Amino acid sequence: MTANEELIEFLRGYVTPNKQEKIAAVLEDRTRHLTLVLEDLYQPHNASACLRSCDCLGVQDIHVVEHRNEYRPNNEISMGSAKWLTMHHYHQTASCIDSIKKRGYRLVATTPNIDGYDLLNLPLDQPVAIMFGTEEQGLSEEALEAADATLRLPMYGFTQSYNISIAVALTLSRLVERLRNSDLLWKLDEADKKEMTLAFYRRIVKRHDLLEENFWANRLD
C-alpha cells in the first residue's frame, strides 16, 4: 500500500459510510476524456452555471483563462459544485493552450462556422477540450488559430447565439451521452480515482490538515 493509499484509509475513518458510497459512485461516472476551456468570462452567473453543468454531467476538469476578467462564480448558482471539480487557472490563453495540448487533448473551438463539426459527428477518439469564449466577443483569435477543429451548435431560429452557460450545458450533455454509449475508455483510471478520492475526502473532513500532520508524525515513529 502506498503512502497516499494509507492516507486515504486514514481519512476514510472520518467520512460517513453514506458519503463514502456517494463519492465512489460519483467517481465511477467521472471523466477526463472531455474537458472545458472558458476564456475570459465576466458574468458570475454564467461562470457559476458552467461549473454546475460540469459537475452534474461528470466532467472533472475546467480550464479557466483570466486574461482580462477574473473568474468569479456565484455559489448560490453553482450550488457548491466548484468543491467537486478540478480547476486550472491561467492568465494567458497561450499557457492554457500549451498545458492542454501537452495533456494530449484535441482543441475544439466553438464557433458559428458552418463548415465545422456538429455535436453528432465531432470525433471523440482522443480526449477533447471544448473552448468557449467571452460572452460578447467569443473566443480570441489566438484561441481560434490554435484550435484543431471547430464545433457548431444547432440553431434554427432568428437568434444566432446561445447564452454561454446554455451552450456549455447543451454541448457537454450531448458529448457525454455519446461517450457513455460508446466503447471508448472514457472513465477515470484507478490512479485518478485514488487522486480524486483523496481530494474529495480532504474537502469534507474538517481540519484534515491537522489530522494529516498527526498521521504522518505517527507513521514516522
Domains and CATH numbers, the chain: 1-30+187-221 (no CATH), 32-186 (3.40.1280.10)
Under 8 Å between Cβ of 114 and 141: no
Please name the residue that has the C-alpha cell 487557472.
89
The average confidence (pLDDT) of the chain is 89
Distance CA 46, CA 211 (A): 37
How many distinct helices (H) and strands (E) make up the chain?
Answer: 9, 6
Summarize pLDDT for 77-130 with one digit per residue, the tens: 445 678 899 999 999 999 999 999 999 999 999 987 767 899 999 999 999 999
> Burial level of 61, CB count in 10 A (0-12/13-18/19+)?
buried
Q: 176 vs 153, which has greater pLDDT?
A: 176
The reported pTM is 0.90
pLDDT band at 72 (very low <50, low <70, confident <90, very high): low
H-helix or E-strand spanning residue 63: strand 61-65
Summarize pLDDT for 32-63 with one digit per residue, the tens: 999 999 988 877 778 788 999 999 999 999 99
